[in-house]
Structure 1
């Protein structure tokens, strides 16, 4: 794959693997350094076909690096790891190991856009790590106004682990964290989590029945099925609510690469989507084909066992079925909220994600 990078009046051409994803800029910047001797950072991605970046000198991050230096002792060269319309991540070596700087998008809003759904992750992690120490990553420092935070390295992705006991521990601990907030949902709203309880999800479903950037991409036959599908989804919402599992903390993007393992302890990170919602909706992103252990029955049983005080095992299994169905709705609505706040390749990526979830939402016609 040919990638282009522009710095002032210069244009550099690089060959990257065919599966290269434009937000993961570190290998491209390394190739730029090795092939051309150029040190630079990515300001933005201008296009996807071909992938074209606008570069800036490393001094572009002077303000961020000054702030980082107030909180850690930097011991060597830093690297830009990821950047796109939702976040920007740097890796910095320190006397205590690598730490990560993350800046969240200060999203611009189109006229009439839906609200930006992302939680204020720095605030959430600072507060949650204080009252649930060791259960979520504790920031080294945050700047709430600028949506900056500095996090310690958390380990290797759970997706790389083959020991099923680690996967069981991951879901069991996540369920216990969720349950710990079940009696105090208002605290989560104080932490800036989005309110996406089932009643809210029912209301959000109305937006899919109106013209929007996702439904306009449907062919007429698929669009015609949407009203009947909405009726089925409302029935699923009613049934899931009746089972009695309390609505509480939801990660919102709990997949095996957003869980990290260090010293056999697993922590979820990337809490930008944190919400007050039905907890089982996290399973729709956790279970994925590329990670077979995510679908292991022992893993699912361990998660459900943590909820048996609220419902019988058969009811919990039914709740999972309903949550898997409603999870497609939840994710589709998430992408619908995000798309109005992005431009260029980042918006195109979110539109493709929305298309993926909309396809799955419409695929199940018989319950």
Structure 2
């Protein structure tokens, strides 16, 4: 698929669309576009204009719904997800304003993880706000990874790839965890599913979570798997379990404490514990690509073993 993104005819069509949209916005190009990102599933063009750079993104296949999803998010939570400058929902094309400075670089410069607090708060509030939109999310193609179907999806995944017996043996555990998590009655909603510091940008003092292509309809606490265990716990020096993730978890849980007053803090903490582990199984299911089975196996290791093998 990467051949498409570099095909001269496809690029000419993408550039023509960008020019059409920037003209409609009253923007003029000030230089040639760059193509800094090419993967199997998407590509990005950086286009300099008189109002600063704008970004074009095209998705393919299972991620093509991202344009429609971001459009819906901007309608529901415009203070947290910025509206697109333009979109072609049929082709999955988006034109976006520059989001600012990537949080990954700011964390290094500031030698602090404190920016994760407003990010986790915002992501939780987005999920709460989208609880009534599950049908709309599924209708535009957002993957369904809800608790009721996750055990079967997990079993189907293990039929597709070659894995050690312990991963197959965990199929029953997936079902048990889903049942335990469902007891708390937290509504399933939109979940980012790849929440790391490369997906957050800072502009004008605000934190913007971007790249919603991996988002799914699932238990919202699954976002904590990547954010807490896959990122924050490693700290600034990339040392496993070097950071107490409890305060960050509690920041994420605060909007849920307000939305679900029937649940105690202990209830929410236990639900988060279950979801953080089970979230790796969901991430393996939702993020699986036949061309990248190594990533799927690492996620399965995080689920079953609680760590990635060296």
TM-score tier after normalising by the smaller chain length: 0.7 to 0.9
Partner of 1:66: 16
* Residue 291 of structure 2 is aligned to residue 333 of structure 1: no
* Residue 296 of structure 2 is aligned to residue 357 of structure 1: no
Unmatched 5+ residue regions in structure 2?
23-27, 237-242
> Aligned to 2:180, which of 239, 246, 266?
239
Partner of 1:257: 198
> Aligned to 1:75, which of 14, 22, 30?
30
Deviations 1:104-154 (A, max 9, x none): 11x4xxxxxxxx4x3601111112212321321311111112211111110
Is the strand fraction higher in 1 or 2?
1
Partner of 1:144: 89
Displacement of 1:234 after TM fit? 1.2
Closer, same or farther: CA 131–295 of 1 in aligned 2, 3 Å: same
* Residue 232 of structure 2 is aligned to residue 292 of structure 1: no
Deviations 1:208-265 (A, max 9, x none): 453x2x2x2x3xxx32x23431112211110011012211111121111111111221
Indicate the SS of the match to 1:133: coil
* Residue 203 of structure 2 is aligned to residue 203 of structure 1: no
Is the helix fraction higher in 1 or 2?
2
Partner of 1:276: 217
Indicate the SS of the match to 2:115: helix
The 2-side partners of 1:183 and 1:295 are apart by 33
Matches within 5 A, 1:1-367: 43=3, 61-72=11-22, 73-105=28-60, 107=61, 116=62, 118=63, 120-160=65-105, 161=107, 162=110, 164-210=113-159, 212=160, 214=161, 216=162, 218=163, 222-223=164-165, 225-287=166-228, 288-289=230-231, 292=235, 296-308=245-257, 309-310=259-260, 311-336=263-288, 338-339=289-290, 347=291, 350-364=292-306
Closer, same or farther: CA 190–289 of 1 in aligned 2, 3 Å: closer
The 2-side partners of 1:119 and 1:193 are apart by 9
TM-score in terms of structure 2 length? 0.84
Indicate the SS of the match to 1:183: helix
Indicate the SS of the match to 2:248: helix
Displacement of 1:299 after TM fit? 2.1
Displacement of 1:282 after TM fit? 0.7
Partner of 1:9: none
Indicate the SS of the match to 1:101: strand
TM-score in terms of structure 1 length? 0.72
Superposed CA RMSD in Å reads 2.5
Indicate the SS of the match to 1:138: coil
Displacement of 1:56 after TM fit? 6.2
Deviates more, 1:167-176 or 1:126-135: 126-135
Displacement of 1:102 after TM fit? 0.6
Indicate the SS of the match to 1:194: coil
The 2-side partners of 1:208 and 1:191 are apart by 23
Unmatched 5+ residue regions in structure 1?
1-22, 24-41, 46-54, 108-115, 340-346
Closer, same or farther: CA 236–56 of 1 in aligned 2, 3 Å: closer
Aligned length: 287
Is 2:34–2:46's contact at 8 Å kept on the other side of the alignment?
A: yes
The 1-side partners of 2:95 and 2:244 are apart by 33
